[in-house]
Amino acid sequence: MTNPRTHITLEHVAQAAGVTPMTISRFFRTPQKVSQGTRERISQAIEKLGYVADSTASRLAGKSRPMLAIVAPSLDLPYVPEIIEGVSEAADTVNAALMVFETRFSLEMQEKRIEAAIGWRPDGIIFVGDTVSDRSRRQITASGIPFVEAWAASDTPVGVDIGLSHRAIAAQMTGALIGAGYQTVAFGVRRLGYRVEVERLDGYLDAVSSAGRTPLVVDIADPGEHYKAGAMILRQALDLTSRPDALFLAGDVLAAGAIFECHRLGLAAPLDLAICGFGDSPISASIVPSLTTVRLPTRELGYAAVGHCIAGVPERVGLLAPEPIERESARLAFE
Amino acid sequence: MTNPRTHITLEHVAQAAGVTPMTISRFFRTPQKVSQGTRERISQAIEKLGYVADSTASRLAGKSRPMLAIVAPSLDLPYVPEIIEGVSEAADTVNAALMVFETRFSLEMQEKRIEAAIGWRPDGIIFVGDTVSDRSRRQITASGIPFVEAWAASDTPVGVDIGLSHRAIAAQMTGALIGAGYQTVAFGVRRLGYRVEVERLDGYLDAVSSAGRTPLVVDIADPGEHYKAGAMILRQALDLTSRPDALFLAGDVLAAGAIFECHRLGLAAPLDLAICGFGDSPISASIVPSLTTVRLPTRELGYAAVGHCIAGVPERVGLLAPEPIERESARLAFE
DNA sequence: CTGTTAGCGCTTTCAA
DNA sequence: TTGAAAGCGCTAACAG
């Protein structure tokens, strides 16, 4: 609880303005039903006392101050803040507050965080995570809170699913690299234990096998920093028995790290090795050589998710389809 | 409000378990005071119904589920998610939930967001922003909620101030560049209208004038993407009448953008132009050439801030002093 | 070990 | 235009 001594409530404002608490409540809710004079006295009392209405009490009593919860693995990934930015932008249009719950890539934590989120009775839960446990599903259903999966498409969605098929996207990109003439396309992931990474890997495997090629995977479990992980993947890719002429990385920051490592080793992308990323992070357009990648509609996803939780969010026509972007680091060709 | 039809409360669980709501409350709060048998029945009822306790109601009634609010300009800055990560790490130790309010670099918004944050009655507000308005100050004081300024030190703090003097740090770094022998150190900022940028600029001006040099400032107001802004600053710096031999940028991502632009223009850092950043973002250690910069204790700041709001957060000995880091892109020398 | 009563700060409904 | 009564879902304090 907040400091009990200096805790201003409706009651205090009411006294200062010489009316009942009810009138103060009206002042906020339906000011036109409060007389001009009273309104002014109330307004002065509020400013003087520095009163701020208690949203939690309002909620309990029935008037819903909008609030959303977002459950995501960690802010230490380029796409999570991006999605949140989209959520926040949409939330602003209806003055919704935002809670953020991090799962830290653990399914156990994820279950706990979903439970915590439900406990705060948000108007919606926007979910950027892994498979939802049965226990969570029961709780979500029982709570009646809209639950939007906004990153990885689910086979068995709990609520609304506006997620992407990372598998299909990875397959498409792999195909585009093969189509561009690269003979040996290797794939690099940093497996954090989350489903999307596996999906991207599977997508790569799909495309490679359907092209009749041999898969070449560098799969590290390094929990460290992304750029360094990318460098590590690059070095391991160069050590593979059959040396690849293209390296497809499951993330743009990883790819940027790989490009930096190329500089360090005196290799030139794409001449010595083509490099392709995933996600179109801000760095990708600026790095030298600029990074071929696939743009994912992260912000749009976040924005759209809010519309499924709260009414009154202005619709926006945003492209929700992933968009391959050919830049300097690798060629791309589609059938 | 959440869906009224499927809205499970203590009452429902109590009925299902054949006890009073009070006993269910006890089950959560002080399970040892509930008999073994009852405990089991309750536990089953909870799981079966998917019941999750309402934290807002708990709070109102007196039992404080810990919750923190963080007010920051935007997640689209490298340091904000970093600070939040620190906050979140500390919050986890006491199971505190986190609300995030973005001000979008507007003082007007900032006032609104602070008010919104107070409305939710968090156990503390962690503030990463600009100057706090008088109105906000009144509200903060009246609310009795701990308010921690955790980024820019304030001359007139509202509550606890653990912020950094960006001015002093910028002055120190500028001095170190001059000390290393650079003749003409230019400064580049992307002014978003927030106080820290002005402070960093002032710090640069302090050091330059105390060294008897002429200041050379590139100050752009570009609202676009950070890497591109860095590139723009670099080009403008090269166009200055007296061409600098060192460029100090008010942020690492800007500096990285400047380095990329050097590559593009065929310039080599630090030979043609030394480049120095601010903040030690993850990219700085990996970019080629690696970036000389100053490390700011962002995560630690976030972590420490929580300790000022909630009791029971394990103390951590983290270095809270900024640390200049000399890498390849510029030499540094201190008196 | 379990229940009863009162009330957190606000809003709903009804009355004046 | 304003007020009084009741209650949101939960917990404190007391009783049994």
Query: A312-328 pLDDT, tens per residue?
Result: 999 887 767 999 999 99
Q: pLDDT value at position B192?
A: 75
Tell whether B228 is within 8 A of chain A (Cβ).
yes
Q: pLDDT value at position A3?
A: 40
Nucleotides on chain C that have an atom closer than 7 A to a protein CB are 1-5, 7-13
Q: pLDDT value at position B223?
A: 79
Tell whether A257 is within 8 A of chain B (Cβ).
yes
Q: Is A236 helix (H, G, I), strand (E, B) or coil?
A: helix
Q: pLDDT value at position A4?
A: 42
Apex A252 CA angle, A246 and A253, nearest 5: 115
Q: Which residue is nearest to nucleotide D6 (CA to C1')?
A: A61
Query: A96-138 pLDDT, tens per residue?
Result: 999 999 999 999 999 999 999 999 999 999 999 999 999 999 9
Of B5, B116, B227, the CB nearest to A282: B227
B51-CA/D14-C1' distance, Å? 28
Q: pLDDT value at position B319?
A: 66
The secondary structure of A139-196 as a DSSP string is HHHHHT--EEE-SB--SS-SSEE--B-HHHHHHHHHHHHHHTT-S-EEEEEE--S-HH
From first to last of the 335 residues of chain B, give the pLDDT tens digit: 334 445 899 999 999 999 999 999 999 999 999 999 999 999 999 999 999 999 999 999 988 789 999 999 999 888 999 999 999 999 999 999 999 999 999 999 999 999 999 999 999 999 999 999 999 999 999 999 999 999 999 999 999 999 999 999 999 999 999 999 999 999 999 987 789 999 999 999 999 999 999 999 999 998 789 999 999 999 999 999 899 999 999 999 999 999 999 999 999 999 999 999 999 999 999 999 999 999 999 999 999 999 999 999 999 877 679 999 999 999 999 87
Judged by CB atoms closer than 8 Å, whether chains meet at B121 and A231 is answered as no
Judged by CB atoms closer than 8 Å, whether chains meet at A283 and B283 is answered as yes
What are the C-alpha distances in Å from B151 to residues A291, B70, B148, B300, B301? 33, 12, 9, 11, 7
Q: Considering chain A, what percentage of its residues have pLDDT values greater than 70?
A: 98
Q: Which residue has the higher pLDDT, A8 or A4?
A: A8
Q: Pick the closest to residue B323 from B335, B332, B313 (CA basis).
A: B332
CB B143 within 8 A of CB A2: yes
The span from the CA of A17 to the CA of A14, in Å, is: 5
Q: Is the CB of B61 under 7 A from strand C?
A: yes
Residue B60's nearest nucleotide, by CA–C1', is C8
Q: To probe the interface with A, which of B63, B143, B327, B329 has the most A CB atoms within 10 Å?
A: B143
How many CB pairs lie under 8 A apart between chains A and B?
196
CB neighbour list of residue B163: distance below 8 Å, 6 or more residues apart = B149, B150, B151, B152, B153, B154, B301
How would residue A1 be classed by pLDDT, with cut points 50, 70 and 90?
very low
Query: A177-228 pLDDT, tens per residue?
Result: 999 999 999 999 998 778 999 999 999 999 999 999 999 999 999 888 999 9
Other residues' Cβ atoms within 10 Å of the Cβ of residue A335: 6
Q: Is the CB of A49 under 7 A from strand C?
A: no
Of B85, B143, B228, the CB nearest to A52: B143
Q: Pick the closest to residue B279 from B253, B261, B259 (CA basis).
A: B253
Query: What is the chain A residue with the closest CA to B51?
Result: A139
Q: Which residue has the higher pLDDT, A6 or B274?
A: B274
Judged by CB atoms closer than 8 Å, whether chains meet at A81 and B85 is answered as no
Judged by CB atoms closer than 8 Å, whether chains meet at B85 and A99 is answered as no
Apex A214 CA angle, A212 and A219, nearest 5: 135
